[in-house]
Each structure stands twice: as structure tokens, then as C-alpha cells.
Copies of this chain bind each other. A is one copy, B any other.
Amino acid sequence: MRDPQAVAENARVLVVDDEPSITDAVATALRYEGFETREVAGGRAAEKAIDEFRPDLVVLDVMLPDLDGFAIARRLREGNHRTPVIFLTAKDAPEDKLEGLSIGDDYVTKPFSLAEMVARVRNVLRRTRGEREEGVLSFSDLVLNEDTREVWRAEHPIELTRTEFELLRFFMFNPRRVLTKRQILDNVWHYDFGGDPNVVETYVSYLRKKLDRLGPPLIQTIRLVGYALRDTSVE
């Protein structure tokens, strides 16, 4: 059970951002998925944490008060370890900053969704660990390819929008588990989304419409609690 955990087992992730609410959110989401985490707020602290904590991956804000994120990334790259880096950057970052992103193994622009971040961390670790198999999730007769963003049910391809795709991916990371609407909102939507939890209902409705044409219902409503990805036809 909880297959996707395998890659995360024991992996240490250092999260660096001067905004505590961001490092907190990211670290919490990662820990929930089985990673070990540490958070620091500045560049100097990051260097120290790298030596002590020896992370397998670093999530690193480009703009730090005391030290440029790129400088840290470069040092990481030169080490024997070659610790991979995922950059955090504001959407409206200046041009010269954007170019530097190629130093990293991936980058995410704020505001992002926690589910997206977790997925990218997994991906980078999978890649840099040289695992050849692709990021393919499956549940029942559902198959989801994270790299190509393709989805099939019972061999039939399904077209999903971005939000639909990320919602389904979150469900497939947590098969059978009951997820509250709040939990879904916090993970799949951007962390600064302040809107109505009803969006979740709406998107579950969209997903069901697309998925259930090709087989028995897969997303169960647990009234007064949340939703769960389940195959009720084979119990």
C-alpha cells in the first residue's frame, strides 16, 4: 500500500525561504508524504544546514535577504554529492533572474500549489537517482503519467485540464484515503487561494463526468467528511 511513498522514504529535504509561512507550508506537505524536512530562513543558515543536515534535495528561494540563492546552488553543484535544487521564484521576477534558473534541476513560481511542489520534489529525486521508470501512477483501471500528463481509464485516453489533472494526481497519491475538502483545497489549489471550498465539489463533479463514462464510479463521497478514491466494484 501507499506505493508512491517508496521513493520518498528517508529522503531529506531542506526548505529555504525568508517567508516562514511558505517554508512551513512546504515542509508540512512534504512531511505528510513521508519526507524528512528542515526549514531555514536565510542563505547563511542554509549553508550551515546543508553541512549538518546533508539534504538529498534543496528547495531554494532565489531572493534571499543575505545571500543569493544561485550562489548556494552553485556550491551544491560543485560538491561530490551534486545535491539537486528546486528554485522558488516570484512570478514577476526580473529577466536576469530567470536565466539563472537553468542552474537548478527544476523551478516553481509563486504562488504554487503544495501538491505541485511535492510532485516536483518526487520527480527530481527520481531523475537524479537515475531511476529510469517514469512517474506513472495507477489505481484500478486508471493510469496517470506525471511526465506526459496523460491519463487513461481502461486504455481510453482522457483529456483533463490542469486543475482536474492535479486534483486527480492528489487522489492517486492518496488512494483509498479519505481527504477532506479543506485538505484538498490546501494541497491542490495555490496556497493563497482564499475562495469557496465549493470549487472542490465543482472539480470533483468535472472529474467524475470524465472518468465515470468509462467504468464504475471511482471517487466516493463520504458525507460530512470528504472524498476518497475507491473502487467499490471489487471489494
Contact = CB atoms under 8 A, between A and B. Distances in A.
B148 A176 contact: yes
Contacts of A157: 235
B178 A147 contact: yes
A100 interface: yes
A109 to B, nearest CB: 9
Task: Please classify how large the interface on chain A is, using the bins under 10, 10 to 19, 20 to 34, 35 or more.
Answer: 35 or more
Interface in A18-60: 20-21, 24-25, 27-29, 31-32, 34, 36, 39
State how many copies of this chain the complex holds: 2
A5 interface: yes
Contacts of A103: 20-21, 24-25, 28
A228 interface: yes
Contacts of A25: 102-103
Given A21-B103, A24-B73, A157-B235, 7 more contacts: A21-B100, A24-B102, A31-B127, A39-B78, A102-B186, A148-B228, A149-B228
A36 B2 CA distance: 30
A5 B127 contact: no
